Structure 1
Amino acid sequence: MVFFICVLFIILSVGVRWTPYFSSISIFPSPNGASSNYRISCVDILHSIVYKDRPECVGCTKSWSWMQSSPVAKCEFKKLEQPDASVMLNRSWVVFAGDSQTRLGMLSMLKLVEVPERVRIVKEQLKKLKTDYSTYIDSIGMKLDFKWKPYARRLTKLMLEFKKNEKYPDIIVMGAGLWDMLYENNASDYDVSLRSLRNSLQDLNSKDGKVPHLFWLAMPTLINSKLTSEDKRHNLTEPRRIRYDNKVNESKILNKFGGPLLKLDIHYLSELCGPQCTKDGLHYDDVVYDIAVQIMLNAVLIESTHKPPF
């Protein structure tokens, strides 16, 4: 029928039964010269989503879909449900590293492959703790880790640890900036940390030849009036977020600017969802992070199967 259904059930369903899916797929385009060759493709329009308002259902979870415009429709994006996601992530190792935003992304990933009750328990536990989390999904042989690394410089140390061991996850999602804004308030230091992180991501080749798919989970839209402390209201402002976000672009760490990381644009997704999607002006409803995970998985499918631009 559509391209991704074919990919999932012909390529993946057969192949991963005997070998790990991620051991044979390719990485995003190399940072070397990527900026000059960057062009419109399905990856570039993955964020073309719309939320569906349900005014008749107060308190319901907001639903969403990809736009049905011609370019987006040609890309045939697929919203993966648990069976498909489990097939795709069979025998994989996925790491989320960063702050509480990245942790919410990890929980959305966990929700795709685990029973809801376990996800609820984990969410409550991690909400109270600033700590790492690791789990193994026995049914599909998947390892899922969250690394509490709220500052950009700590992400660099983690990448250097992976490099030292020459063993990398299949997917790494990272993101930091809010703690740098809140507790350090030095955009120049943040810029230095990002450039060090970019350097640490060069030449990631494991002993078994795997190269990870790399993503950057951006900061959300900040609703100052809803922030829960004076320090947050003073330091976590939209103008400052824009300044820090510009540092991410200037560091050329993102794929769009020649770097190794593909951006998961939480700012755009949260802004589109609106102020009603956040209670504290900082952390958004699950749907925002669910979409980010779906965008990530579709990006992996697109790049792994070398689907050409439309």
Structure 2
Amino acid sequence: MARWRLSRRKLLFLSVSFTSLLLFLHLPSSPHHFAFSPTSSLCNSRLHRISWTHSPSPTWSWDKSQNCDFQRFSSGHASELLRGAWILAAGDSQARLLLLALLRLLLDPAQVSNVEPDLFRRHSDYQLTLPDRGIKIDFVWAPYESNITHLLRDIQLTPRYPDLLILGSGLWHMLHITSPSHYGAALAQIKRAAESLFEQSISLHPHMFWLGLPKLVNSMLNTEEKKVKMTGTMLEAYDREVDMRGILNGSSGPFMLLDIGRLTRGCGKHCTLDGMHYHDAVYDAAVNIMLNSMLIESQ
């Protein structure tokens, strides 16, 4: 499989297929204003400004007043953007749900129904290839931060690195270890491993995203242990560790945040049945935020 670069894909769009892309993305006619206005960095900071409606089921849209031409990706556009890419997601059930949302975008409904049981096989890894698009997709069950650190170090020993990394953890740590400071120290290890991977990838830097923790609706959690340990106060402490440890690009870290917490707060408690896992629309929004961020980053 050829090494994938988003910048190469963008250049292809802006040359041979620029006219069709304008129709597809509703872009302005000048390539100097490619999709985002007034500035890419400003628009990147506005990606999570989502509005929600709940009738008859949760749906989302971007706030049109923010003057950024964000795109709601179609299957064809997502497939073209990711053509030739190796996508690696690692983490717990939140990472599975995010990857499922990406598969819903890339595959038809019958294909999604076929792959979903394997993707959600308890505590297992998953792999899928889409030969017609050259896309390779891996999910690695990595519920603890040490699992992710070991994965990043193992990747450095391979001849090829993923083009898109989607990582996240914290729920298992909160339930089974219940120590924000310990969680923060583990995040620092992830940061060092990710920075090392980024440095060794020379000019072909992978796109790295970190999944934020969802809002926990304590009264809806399905065990007493979860209700005792996974409180709002504890969630805030874990979120503070993410901010303090500098893993996010806003603090010079390697990861762009996919703010699942903000999205789940926006969707509300009627979007969850167990206080932890949310409606498909939440993860669909996160996938579109991720893909738009990749376009912004490519400029």
> Could you state the TM-score of these two structures normalised by the residue count of structure 2?
0.84
The aligned residue for residue 50 of structure 1 is 51
1:42 alignment partner AA: C
- SS of 1:50's partner is strand
1:167 to 156, 160, 164: 160
Instruction: Provide the secondary structure at the position in 2 that maps to 1:294.
Output: helix
Q: Which amino acid aligns with 1:41?
A: L
Aligned to 1:147: 140
State the shift of 1:41 in Å.
1.4
1:215-262 CA-to-partner distances (Å, cap 9, x unmatched) read 100010001111111111111111101101111111100111110101
Indicate whether 1:258 and 2:255 are aligned: no
Deviation at 1:139, TM superposition (A): 2.1
Q: Percent identity?
A: 37
Q: Using the alignment, how far apart are the partners of 2:166 and 2:15 within structure 1? A: 22
Distance 2:15 2:157 in 1: 31
Check whether the contact 1:278–1:285 (CA below 8 A) recurs between aligned residues. yes
Q: Deviations over 1:64-123 (max 9, x none)?
A: 111011xx22x2110111010011011111111111001100111111111212222332
Structure 1, 195-204 or 96-105: larger mean CA deviation: 195-204
Q: Is contact 2:118-2:126 (8 Å) kept? A: no
1:168–1:206: 8 Å Cα contact kept in structure 2?
Answer: no
Q: Which runs of 5+ in 2 are unaligned?
A: 1-8, 19-39
Q: Output the CA distance in 2 between the equivalents of 1:89 and 1:152.
A: 27
- Which amino acid in 2 is paired with 1:232? K
Structure 1 pair 78–9 and aligned structure 2 pair: CA distance change class (3 A):
farther
Aligned counterparts, 1:211-290, within 5 A: 211-290=205-284
> Post-superposition shift, 1:51?
1.3
Q: How does 1:63-74 map to 2 (within 5 A)?
A: 63-69=59-65, 72-73=66-67
* One-letter amino acid of the counterpart of residue 54, structure 2: D
Which residue pairs with 1:34 in the alignment?
none
Alpha carbons 2:96, 2:120 under 8 Å: kept: no
> Contact (CA 8 Å) 2:212, 2:259: kept in 1 or not?
yes
* Residue 194 to residue 46, structure 1, CA distance change in 2 (3 Å): same
Residue 107 of structure 1 aligns to which amino acid in structure 2? L
Corresponding residue SS for 1:202: helix
Instruction: Single out whichever of 273-282 and 164-173 deviates more from structure 2.
Output: 164-173
> 1:12: how far off?
8.3
Give 2:272's aligned amino acid: T
The question of 1:190 aligning with 2:186 is answered no
| C-alpha contact 2:91 2:142 (8 A) present in aligned 1 | yes
Amino acid at match of 2:127: S
RMSD: 2.2
Q: What is the CA–CA distance in structure 2 between the aligned matches of 1:205 and 1:245, rounded to whole Å?
A: 26
Match of 1:295 among 282, 289, 294: 289
Deviation at 1:209?
A: 4.4
Q: Give structure 1 stretches of 5+ with no counterpart.
A: 1-5, 16-38
In structure 1, C-alpha distance between the alignment counterparts of 2:83 and 2:199, rounded to whole Å: 21
Task: Give the one of 63, 87, 95 matched to 1:94.
Answer: 87
Contact 1:168 1:210 in 2 (8 A): no
- Equivalent-residue separation in structure 2 for 1:85 and 1:112 (angstroms): 7
Q: Which residue of 1 aligns with 2:106?
A: 113
Flag the 1:12–1:230 CA change in 2: closer, same or farther, 3 A: farther
**Count of residue correspondences:** 269
**CA offset at residue 207 of structure 1?**
6.6
Name the SS for the 2:276 alignment partner: coil
Q: CA deviation at 1:191?
A: 1.1
Which structure 1 residue ranges, 4+ long, deviate > 6 Å from structure 2? Answer: none
Equivalent AA in structure 2 for residue 236 of structure 1: M
| TM-score for both structures, normalised by structure 1 | 0.82
Conserved 8 A contact 1:166-1:206: no
| Deviates most, 283-292 or 230-239 | 230-239
Letter in 2 for 1:169: P
Residue 279 of structure 1: CA displacement?
0.4
Separation (CA, whole Å) in 2 of partners of 1:157 and 1:169: 15
In 2, distance between residues paired with 1:127 and 1:233? 24
Query: 1:11 is matched with which residue?
Result: 14
In structure 2, do the counterparts of structure 1 residues 190 and 208 end up closer, same or farther at CA, with 3 Å as the change threshold?
closer
